[in-house]
Chain A
């Protein structure tokens, strides 16, 4: 900080948020090596579509830091043009996905002290997507797949214009809606990670949880099962569960979305008994009018709600 603002910290100042432990100043002066103090080394892939290489940056270690903190210190110091995407730095936006020591992870939620000590931490861009520069990749694939999804189509609301849904009805969908769109499940999925040609017809784990969310949505009237079978590449998934392993939100992508979707697709397309049952009983997804007719009756709130 500049000399005149240092002088500005007058004794009458009462703002406690200023009481910054001395240690914090390490991060204000990147590149400064504490005398013989511990250091950390990041080996960051630097490059563009034309190619690139790993570059090592040694920085002083600071207690409690996450990988993104060190990347920021590298930017503020030796490499101001180091490209990296980030927003919230609190694990809520899913921007700072990278491959840390070969595994996809959020840089803002990966603590340095939980990685192997004494060796450089390797940070590379997501492999599945075309690189733009350094740690930034072109994730437009995911947005394209999102645009292809047939949207939510709710049944009509009750007579008072309000939907009634029970907590048990929404819980399953709420798990999927925890998704922060970090796209690490898309990145780690070998179907497109190792087979570029599959990208043209593979929605990927992130979109599978979205399809499952809508398929099991208590209000939705749209049957997408045939479409899922033929157009989203669901059967390319061989349920090897890497998506679940890397999900920072702990969503059980495989068990709660992909496999249930596969089973629903079997119901619709591969199961002769289910097919026969439908023919005989003429049962399909209930019509919107039918569903609206038996919305739970109005009642007043109870004490548990409070």
Chain B
């Protein structure tokens, strides 16, 4: 058995994206010994790829905006499945979290009176997204990273966590992982853990997600016995690059539409006007003229249908392509070139301009982009208590994309960056309190640790097994084909079957070389997490026999009244299988429920 190093901390945060960094800042400021463990270098987490902005009802551009309107938008966007308390906290606290970033050195774009400028995004009634051109995520992660460094948070970079272990009382007590550069194993003993590992996109073939998004956090929480919530709700971002093939899935920010871009089919028609759902009809423009006037006058005009919530837009694009009205490479056209001046486009959307120029040889100031929906975000994940981010495992907290509840069935663009800040901080606070109140040194069975390390190294011992890359590729194709944007019972069942076979193959993969910076081996250790998460998604998708938000069922194309009142919870049984339970939504206070009924002014 390889011996390995051990570290002791008060709080260990797994994942160094926006939520993890924010949590680390909170615990460190509260004087706790804090470790931040991340799979890549610091500052490379997927948060850097967020483009459009962070939604916060600061009312800098439209003074009518307030947390109540933001709350209403979030709940309606989430098809009323969001945890009301999370949506409320989020709407109330996000402005302060944004101002806090400014105090730490962030430089947001400004209004003409020197306040933070806000931009329009899908599903938000008012221009609400604090932003920096189209690189808001980078600004956010850099600000948080620099603040964390200034506070002296200890960062363990390129360190992958394999499993979370509990002590005899069932409290989370140790995280076992390995250093990617050396392949050496490491154990972090701590009084509290925060999971902030982000998304699960790498189980799909085409995704906007980066290498890291293999659902590690979701899986280690599920393996530790935490409740997993609403795993069926996977967001497909409506506008991603489709060409060239190898750039397929790279995100095209919703800011393009927020800043005036329009979706067109091959005939040049703004087809979104044909797909306005009844739920949003009263607040969506009926004509192109009204939609175009809205950019300058939100009060007397209604929002263009191009800015409907993402699930609606994604489905509409899918239908257009299916009807044979798509673009040459299987998407639709996103046109800003004919609608805004080249200078405006370059100033507002510099990285989109750059990205298309470099990767597709296309000038977005003169030509339309081709876009289609691809996997983007996980609304489901680890069940957490709204105020604290506590999971059902004592001592284990979660925040950000890995945690669930805030976004319900569909997330509004811009809500995730502020989600990271609001709930990253709250998870940090609660983890600090928990760690402060926990007596004694956390201990785990040494044998368990050894077992995990040994299992991780097994692929080296197999000579004739399959390459993990093949298994991963097949997993991605399975999920892409059978658990995609549009789903059906037969395909989902087939997917479960295929996942079982992939699980068998995963147990037989073999890798060559040594553990030191070995991507093949790293992938082999990621595969179990990806498979667990894929199964949780597929099973929940079978159970929810309706179409709602991120779940679109070919065989159940309408929302179901009864299913609209429940969340789906999955949890590990002692025999290693997962039980699935329908749980009624927490009851919402009358004054908040009233906000949802109100028609917009």
A–B contact, 8 Å CB criterion (strictly below): yes
Asked if A1 is at the interface (CB within 8 A of a chain B CB), the reply is yes
The complex places the Cα of A166 from the Cα of B211 at a distance, in Å, of: 38
The complex places the Cα of A63 from the Cα of B248 at a distance, in Å, of: 13
10 tightest A-B contacts by CB?
A64-B244, A81-B513, A80-B520, A164-B114, A151-B150, A76-B469, A152-B105, A83-B517, A16-B321, A15-B484
- Let me know if A302 and B99 touch, CB within 8 A: no
Q: Which residues, 48 to 103 on A, are CB-close (under 8 Å) to B?
A: 48, 62-66, 69, 75-77, 80-95
The complex places the Cα of A18 from the Cα of B477 at a distance, in Å, of: 9
- Let me know if B113 and A94 touch, CB within 8 A: no
Asked if A163 is at the interface (CB within 8 A of a chain B CB), the reply is yes
Asked if B246 is at the interface (CB within 8 A of a chain A CB), the reply is yes
The complex places the Cα of A111 from the Cα of B329 at a distance, in Å, of: 20
Q: Across the two chains, which residue of chain B brings its CB closest to A171?
A: B107
The complex places the Cα of A214 from the Cα of B94 at a distance, in Å, of: 26
Residues in A whose Cβ lies below 8 Å from that of B206: 17
The complex places the Cα of A260 from the Cα of B38 at a distance, in Å, of: 36
Residues in A whose Cβ lies below 8 Å from that of B330: 16, 19, 21
The complex places the Cα of A111 from the Cα of B244 at a distance, in Å, of: 11
Residues in A whose Cβ lies below 8 Å from that of B104: 152
- Let me know if A64 and B474 touch, CB within 8 A: no
Asked if A12 is at the interface (CB within 8 A of a chain B CB), the reply is yes
- Let me know if B485 and A17 touch, CB within 8 A: yes
- Let me know if A5 and B469 touch, CB within 8 A: no
Asked if A296 is at the interface (CB within 8 A of a chain B CB), the reply is yes
Interface of B toward A, CB cutoff 8 Å: 40-46, 48-49, 60-63, 99, 102-105, 107-115, 117, 127, 132-133, 135, 137-139, 142, 146-147, 149-150, 155, 157, 181, 206, 210-212, 236, 243-248, 250-251, 295-296, 298, 317-318, 321-322, 326, 329-330, 351, 354-355, 358-360, 372-374, 467-470, 473-474, 477-478, 480-482, 484-486, 488, 490-491, 494-495, 497-498, 501-502, 511-514, 516-521, 554
Residues in B whose Cβ lies below 8 Å from that of A28: 473, 477
The complex places the Cα of A302 from the Cα of B111 at a distance, in Å, of: 8
- Let me know if A91 and B354 touch, CB within 8 A: yes
Q: Which residues, 160 to 174 on A, are CB-close (under 8 Å) to B?
A: 161-167, 169-170, 173-174
Asked if A134 is at the interface (CB within 8 A of a chain B CB), the reply is yes
- Let me know if B46 and A10 touch, CB within 8 A: no
- Let me know if B482 and A16 touch, CB within 8 A: no
Q: Across the two chains, which residue of chain A brings its CB closest to B113?
A: A299
A42 to chain B, nearest CB (A): 15
Asked if A181 is at the interface (CB within 8 A of a chain B CB), the reply is yes
Q: Which residues, 135 to 167 on A, are CB-close (under 8 Å) to B?
A: 136, 138-139, 143, 146-147, 151-152, 154, 157, 161-167
- Let me know if B359 and A8 touch, CB within 8 A: no
B118 to chain A, nearest CB (A): 8
Known: A5-B478, A64-B244, A66-B359. A166 touches B114 (CB 8 A): yes
- Let me know if B498 and A302 touch, CB within 8 A: no
Residue from the set B102, B127, B155 with the largest chain A CB neighbour count within 10 Å? B102
Asked if A178 is at the interface (CB within 8 A of a chain B CB), the reply is yes
Q: Which residues, 1 to 36 on A, are CB-close (under 8 Å) to B?
A: 1-2, 4-5, 8-10, 12-21, 23-24, 27-28
Residues in B whose Cβ lies below 8 Å from that of A174: 107, 109, 132-133
A286 to chain B, nearest CB (A): 18
Known: A75-B520, A111-B359, A136-B181. A93 touches B49 (CB 8 A): yes
The complex places the Cα of A298 from the Cα of B114 at a distance, in Å, of: 9
Q: Across the two chains, which residue of chain B brings its CB closest to A90?
A: B250
A86 to chain B, nearest CB (A): 6
The complex places the Cα of A4 from the Cα of B243 at a distance, in Å, of: 28
Known: A88-B210, A91-B355, A305-B117. A63 touches B244 (CB 8 A): yes
- Let me know if B468 and A8 touch, CB within 8 A: no
Partner of A134, one of B109, B480, B517: B517
Sample 12 A-B pairs with CB under 8 A, ordered by A number: A13-B486, A14-B554, A15-B484, A16-B318, A17-B374, A64-B247, A81-B514, A85-B40, A90-B250, A93-B48, A111-B359, A306-B295
Contact pattern, A 162-192, Cβ under 8 Å of B = 1, otherwise 0 = 1111110110011001111100000000000
Residues in B whose Cβ lies below 8 Å from that of A118: none
- Chain A interface size band reads 35 or more
- Let me know if B517 and A133 touch, CB within 8 A: yes
Residues in A whose Cβ lies below 8 Å from that of B494: 4-5, 8
A247 to chain B, nearest CB (A): 12
Asked if A284 is at the interface (CB within 8 A of a chain B CB), the reply is no
Partner of A157, one of B103, B477, B516: B103
A20 to chain B, nearest CB (A): 8
Known: A64-B246, A299-B113. A81 touches B519 (CB 8 A): yes
Residues in A whose Cβ lies below 8 Å from that of B354: 91
The complex places the Cα of A21 from the Cα of B329 at a distance, in Å, of: 8
- Let me know if B474 and A2 touch, CB within 8 A: yes
Asked if A290 is at the interface (CB within 8 A of a chain B CB), the reply is no
- Let me know if A81 and B521 touch, CB within 8 A: yes
Asked if A116 is at the interface (CB within 8 A of a chain B CB), the reply is no
Residue from the set B41, B60, B467, B518 with the largest chain A CB neighbour count within 10 Å? B41
Partner of A154, one of B103, B243, B372, B498: B103
- Let me know if B491 and A10 touch, CB within 8 A: yes
Known: A14-B322, A80-B519. A93 touches B44 (CB 8 A): yes
B358 to chain A, nearest CB (A): 5
B109 to chain A, nearest CB (A): 7
A34 to chain B, nearest CB (A): 15
Known: A64-B245, A66-B359, A296-B114. A88 touches B513 (CB 8 A): no
Q: Across the two chains, which residue of chain A brings its CB closest to B477?
A: A1
The complex places the Cα of A1 from the Cα of B360 at a distance, in Å, of: 28
Q: Across the two chains, which residue of chain B brings its CB closest to A83?
A: B517
B353 to chain A, nearest CB (A): 11
The complex places the Cα of A23 from the Cα of B330 at a distance, in Å, of: 14
Residues in B whose Cβ lies below 8 Å from that of A82: 519
Partner of B211, one of A77, A86, A163, A169: A86
- Let me know if A87 and B474 touch, CB within 8 A: no
A291 to chain B, nearest CB (A): 14
- Let me know if A15 and B486 touch, CB within 8 A: yes
A252 to chain B, nearest CB (A): 14
- Let me know if A4 and B359 touch, CB within 8 A: no
- Let me know if A138 and B181 touch, CB within 8 A: yes
A161 to chain B, nearest CB (A): 7
Asked if A132 is at the interface (CB within 8 A of a chain B CB), the reply is yes
- Let me know if A133 and B138 touch, CB within 8 A: no
Partner of A132, one of B181, B351, B491: B181
- Let me know if B44 and A95 touch, CB within 8 A: yes
The complex places the Cα of A222 from the Cα of B558 at a distance, in Å, of: 60
Known: A8-B494, A80-B469, A162-B115. A177 touches B517 (CB 8 A): no
Residues in A whose Cβ lies below 8 Å from that of B60: 301, 305
Asked if A239 is at the interface (CB within 8 A of a chain B CB), the reply is no
Residues in A whose Cβ lies below 8 Å from that of B48: 88, 92-93, 180
The complex places the Cα of A88 from the Cα of B298 at a distance, in Å, of: 36
Q: Which residues, 258 to 306 on A, are CB-close (under 8 Å) to B?
A: 296, 298-306
Residues in A whose Cβ lies below 8 Å from that of B355: 90-91
B347 to chain A, nearest CB (A): 10
B342 to chain A, nearest CB (A): 17
* Known contacts A92-B135, A92-B137, then 5 further A-B pairs from the complex at CB < 8 Å, ordered by chain A residue: A8-B478, A27-B246, A63-B245, A81-B514, A300-B63
The complex places the Cα of A91 from the Cα of B467 at a distance, in Å, of: 28
Known: A10-B491, A75-B520. A17 touches B373 (CB 8 A): yes
